Amino acid sequence: MTYRTLIYWEDLKDGRHPYKPGDVYPREGYTPSPERIEELSTTHNKRGIQLIEEVKAPEKVTVPLENKLEEPKKEKADGKSTRTVKSRSRKTK
């Protein structure tokens, strides 16, 4: 799982690696124990405040084809693709 840091802190169990608000925890190349995750995601640590929170993956949203705004690409004879753009006709006076 991935976590996001909430405030600035230095990980004392990872060579004082610094984390700024919004950084991903753990850093690449470091795997903390489940106990360490529990410690940092609650107030049961030396600072007494929550330092990280779990980042949940966004839900996938499927858009039905009939709701798409652009029309499909059409291929020209020269092999290049184009898109058809609908334009409004303007009335002239």
For residue 14, being part of any structural domain is answered with: yes
For residue 90, being part of any structural domain is answered with: no
DSSP per-residue codes, 14-81 = TTTEEE-TT-EESPTT----HHHHHHHTSS-STT-S--EEEPPPPPP-PPPGGG-SSPPPEE-TTS-E
Q: How many separate domains does the chain show? A: 1
For residue 79, being part of any structural domain is answered with: no
Supply the pTM of this predicted model: 0.60
Residue with more model confidence, 75 or 26: 26
Domain that holds residue 35: 3-54
Query: What pLDDT is attached to residue 62?
Result: 74
Residue with more model confidence, 9 or 57: 9
Confidence band for 52, pLDDT divided at 50, 70 and 90: very high
For residue 70, being part of any structural domain is answered with: no
Query: What pLDDT is attached to residue 60?
Result: 75
Confidence band for 58, pLDDT divided at 50, 70 and 90: confident
